[in-house]
Amino acid sequence: MVHCDFAFSSLPFLEYVDLSLSQLSGTIPPEIGKIPPQISSLTKLETLNIFDNHLNGSIPTEIGKLVNLVEAYLENNQLTGHIPPEIGSLVTAKLFYAFSNKLSSSIPAEVGKMKSFENLSLQTNNLSGSILVTLGDLIELKVLYLYSNQLYGPIPSELGNLKNLTELSLHNNQLNGSISIALGDLNELKILYLYSNQLSGPLPSELGNLKNLTELDLSDNQLTGSIPITLADLIELKIMYLYSNQLSGPIPSELGNLKNLNELDLSDNQPIDSIPVTLGDLTELKILYLYSNQLSGHIPSELGNLKNLTKLDLSYNQLTSSIPITLGDLIEL
């Protein structure tokens, strides 16, 4: 383990710093962005790599003076304190990784000034407060990871402005309120993780507009109402997790249109009616969990078409009649 004690101010023309995987300890020196009387220190810096070390202390406010910074990798350290509002001065930054630290307090509103941001990853910290509406100003953003923090309050409808977003992960927080219908405007979205929060209300039918979505996980919330038929329009979907909610009503037969689906978990809800025979059309399915519901009727023989199925759980329901012989065709089970 090496103590971090560098005279950054003596390297004014540095454009790239990579101290990652160096087992550094100590604090990030404030001189990293200090402007000396004659030559501005490190203002030419474009890439800062100090991830995977043992750095502690706070992110220095002087980082805001690195006006040419494009990429900052601060992840996997032991950084504490708040994210300085001076970060809003990094208007050319496209990527900011500060995940897997011990950062606390709220996300500064000044982050909304960083219009060039394409990737903001602040997950696995101790951040609190609400998700800022100003994040909706980051129109170039492609990846937004805020999961595994202590964020609370509603999901701002302003996030619907992020038309270039491909991955949105807000899971493992304390978010409440309903899922904003504005999320249905994120046409480029491929991954939507909102699980393990306190979200309530119905599933917006507008989520069916997310035609590029491959993974949808809304599990472990307090969602109510029926499963919208529009989810059957998500033909690229490979994973759908809606388990551990309070969803009711029948399982839409239209879900049989999701031909690319690998995993479907609707367990621990309150759906009624029978298992639709159209689930037998999901020939790519490997996992089917429908346990702990109020399903009745018989087990469709069409489930025998799911030749790739490795896990099937229909327990704790009110199913009747016999087990269909066709389940014997599921040789991967």
Sort residue 148 into left (φ over 0), alpha (ψ -120 to 50) or beta.
Answer: left
CA distances from residue 138 to 79, 92, 132, 290, 299 in whole angstroms, order as listed: 25, 12, 11, 39, 48
**Rounded distance between C-alpha atoms, residue 293 and residue 319, angstroms:** 10
Question: Environment class of residue 331 by beta-carbon count within 10 Å: exposed (0-12), middle (13-18) or buried (19+)?
Answer: exposed
- What confidence tens digit (pLDDT) does each residue in 134-145 have? 999 999 999 999
**Rounded distance between C-alpha atoms, residue 179 and residue 284, angstroms:** 29
Question: Environment class of residue 254 by beta-carbon count within 10 Å: exposed (0-12), middle (13-18) or buried (19+)?
Answer: middle
**Rounded distance between C-alpha atoms, residue 66 and residue 84, angstroms:** 13
Give the Cβ contact number of residue 306 at 10 Å: 24
Six token digits for residue 271: 């759906």
Query: pLDDT at residue 34 above 50?
Result: no
Query: pLDDT at residue 84 above 50?
Result: yes
- What confidence tens digit (pLDDT) does each residue in 115-127 have? 999 999 999 999 9
Which of the 8 DSSP states describes residue 118?
A: S
pLDDT at 14: 46
**Rounded distance between C-alpha atoms, residue 284 and residue 199, angstroms:** 30
- What confidence tens digit (pLDDT) does each residue in 217-228 have? 999 999 999 999
Of 246, 244, 184, 194, nearest to 215 by C-alpha is 194
Six token digits for residue 269: 């809800």
Query: pLDDT at residue 16 above 90?
Result: no
Which homologous superfamily is 226-333 in?
Ribonuclease Inhibitor (3.80.10.10)
pTM for this model (two decimals): 0.89
In a 3-state reduction of DSSP, which class is residue 139?
Answer: coil
- pLDDT tier, 325 (very low <50, low <70, confident <90, very high otherwise): very high
